[in-house]
Amino acid sequence: MSTAQQPIRLLVVDDHNLFCRGLVALLGQDPRLQVVGEAGDANQALNMAQRLRPDLILLDNHLPGVQGVDAIADLKQALPGVRILMLTVSENVDDMAAGLRSGADGYLLKTIHTEDLCDSICKVWDGDSVVSPEMMGKLVGLLRSAPEAGSAQNRSGDEVQAPRTAAAVVSADDPIHQLSPREREILALIAKGDSNKHIARALDIAETTVKIHVQHILRKLGLINRVHAAVYATERGVI
């Protein structure tokens, strides 16, 4: 389905009614998006997901009864093709890790600007994964400090392994050697959690140029998204 042809159908799951109503109103202003339902807890979300079959679920973590991270597996099982984007106030790295391991396609904080949220929804629907810049550094830190923590899964089921050491030895045939000096520089900034806008400012280049570099980096390294790129860079001591 192309977002240019029909809007992305959303189910919003949040138990704070005032926030939920405001969020729905803001999302409704973007022609790329259509809110088809609202739920206040995990059970209601599961029932509505089965009935409405949304494209993407915006899921809060702190819900009454079952927490959002614990509802992801059931939602994915009931609706295998659905994307799940967590939108929460929790800056707890364990909550984020649990969500990503359970199959969430992204983790965003509620402090995000509306325009950035809408763009993130579209990115997730297009197959990318998104993590708030404030949380990317924590994710990398978790992976570096907890080598036995296991792995996270992306939406296709591929595993993102935690590094065995903080500075792994890079083999001669590692695809990282295919990167240009500029691409390695951008990869290091991605690993630090910088957004394209911040990278563009830091390197004094256009944001569109950064986007092109990121696409090239992902293609050369055989990675799916920025989260994987950050993990990859951390494993090889690029930061």
Which domains does the chain possess? 8-131 (3.40.50.2300), 151-235 (1.10.10.10)
Cα distance between residue 126 and residue 6, in whole Å: 13
Cα distance between residue 20 and residue 15, in whole Å: 8
pLDDT in tens, 2-44: 444 699 999 999 999 889 999 999 999 999 999 999 999 999 9
Contact 46, 71 (CB under 8 A): yes
Name the pTM for this structure: 0.65
Pair of tokens at residue 119: 């763009």
What local confidence, expressed as pLDDT, does residue 224 receive? 67
Cα distance between residue 131 and residue 172, in whole Å: 31
Output 204-212 pairs: Cβ under 8 A, ≥24 positions apart: 210/186
Pair of tokens at residue 82: 């659905």
- Please give the share of the chain, as a percent, with pLDDT higher than 90: 44
Cα distance between residue 34 and residue 54, in whole Å: 10
pLDDT in tens, 99-152: 888 888 899 999 998 999 999 999 888 877 788 888 877 776 766 665 443 444
Query: At residue 87, does pLDDT exceed 60?
Result: yes
Mean pLDDT of 77-102: 89
What local confidence, expressed as pLDDT, does residue 159 receive? 42
Q: Which residue has the tokens 């597996």?
A: 73
Residue 39 DSSP symbol: E
Query: At residue 199, does pLDDT exceed 80?
Result: yes
